[in-house]
Amino acid sequence: MPRMKDKVTLVTGAARGIGAAIARAYVDEGATVWLTDLDEDAGRRLAQSIGPAARFQRLDVRSEAAWEAVMAAILAAHGRLDVLVNNAGITGLEAGHVAHDPEHAALEDWRAVHETNLDGVFLGCKHAIRAMRPAGAGAIVNMSSRSGMVGIPAAAAYASSKAAIRNHTKTVALYCAGQGLAIRCNSIHPAAVLTPMWEPMLGEGPERDARMAAIVADTPLRRFGAPQEVAAIAVLLGSDEAAYVTGSEITIDGGILAGAAGTPRPVEE
């Protein structure tokens, strides 16, 4: 039996990258998926390519009114929401912005990153709990990052927002349990997963190749991760197989956080 048979799910930031991979995986496992994003063209194309179990609706995760409208549409169509994946996020470096270091980051840039990454997750959790409360059960999966577990000097706003997501996930998990609700909330922490989000940081040409080689060299498994590998964990956390998992965090980083950048490598004979 498909692992997510008949589940009604919502994935934010689903037009590309990890969000798109999760949407495809959920449909493959029997779910109905509402894909949301600000990129309407890409979102609609993806929904059409996935098939009738997927539909697209524009969602600005920073807007509470937009969240209310999406949840109302889902409840009108299905009567319930079973799984929410809060995946939408930005680094703040997408449009060629300078690095967000703690000394020079502009307040407006700091706020813009937190508004999408953190406010969006807060609003998603808030309205998902309300949508799931009548059934008393559900699953919320929040996309954090390895950057939410360590300091990132050149991306201070991004790291701060992802660290806050990590903590808010645990707060939501405890709140729901305290309310007597079987609504689980867990976070996923990817690192070195090759998605379009990396493009502004990798550059082009030889510079890109050198940066990719450096990242791979510092990753114990000696490769980038794939969005599908993150999606597999999102399937687990959204399925009934994880019924006893809440307030937890799963790191998908090829072993980076298992040691340090200077972890000895095997001696070549």
Q: How many CB atoms lie within 10 A of CB 101?
A: 13
Alpha-carbon dihedral sign for residues 23, 145, 142, 122: negative
Q: What angle do CA 159, 160, 161 make, to 5 degrees?
A: 95
Q: How many CB atoms lie within 10 A of CB 238?
A: 29
Active site residue 244: no
Beta-carbon contacts of residue 214 (< 8 Å; ≥ 6 apart): none
Task: Find the radius of gyration of the CA atoms of the chain.
Answer: 18
99, 103, 109, 111 alpha-carbon torsion, rounded to 10° = 140
Q: What angle do CA 262, 263, 267 make, to 5 degrees?
A: 110
Catalytic residue among 26, 158, 175, 244: 158
Q: Which stretches of 115-204 are DSSP H helices?
A: 120-132, 156-178, 199-202
**Residue 79 CA: distances (Å) to CA of 75, 173, 200:** 4, 23, 41
**Residue 229 CA: distances (Å) to CA of 73, 236, 253:** 30, 11, 10
Q: Catalytic site residues?
A: 158
